[in-house]
Amino acid sequence: MGDFNHYVVVKFKDGVAVEELIQGLEKMVSGIHEVKSFEWGKDIESHDMLRQGFTHVFLMTFNGKEEFNTFRTHPNHIEFSGVFSPSIEKIVVLDFPSKLVKAPA
């Protein structure tokens, strides 16, 4: 079985200390060995109409759906969700098996 991805796109509420949240997120994923990789970024190019208010994206990759399911119920994830979720104004979450079309060079 291939990789399984957890993709999250968010718009934070006004006044949220985003940098602190991201540091907490980095710490949380670093302590959960089922997370194969973690990437994040902030949009700097899209037009407001296309962005629809969303500003940040987070991508976690797992070796399979079983590892993702373990992550979802991990105490560190549950605890951090209690801090992260109230800071979100809008969110889109997609969980999907990866279909690699072109491998990195």
Strand pairing report for 37-42 and 4-12: unpaired
Query: Worst-scoring range by mean pLDDT, 1-15, 44-58, 79-93?
Result: 44-58
Q: In the prediction, which pLDDT does 1 show?
A: 58
What is this structure's pTM? 0.90
- In angstroms, the CA 22 to CA 17 distance is 9
What single-letter amino acid sits at 43? D
- CATH tag for 4-97 (out of 3.90.1640.30, 3.40.50.300, 3.40.50.20, 3.30.70.100): 3.30.70.100
pLDDT in tens, 39-56: 999 998 878 778 888 999
- pLDDT per residue over 21-31, tens digit each? 999 999 999 99
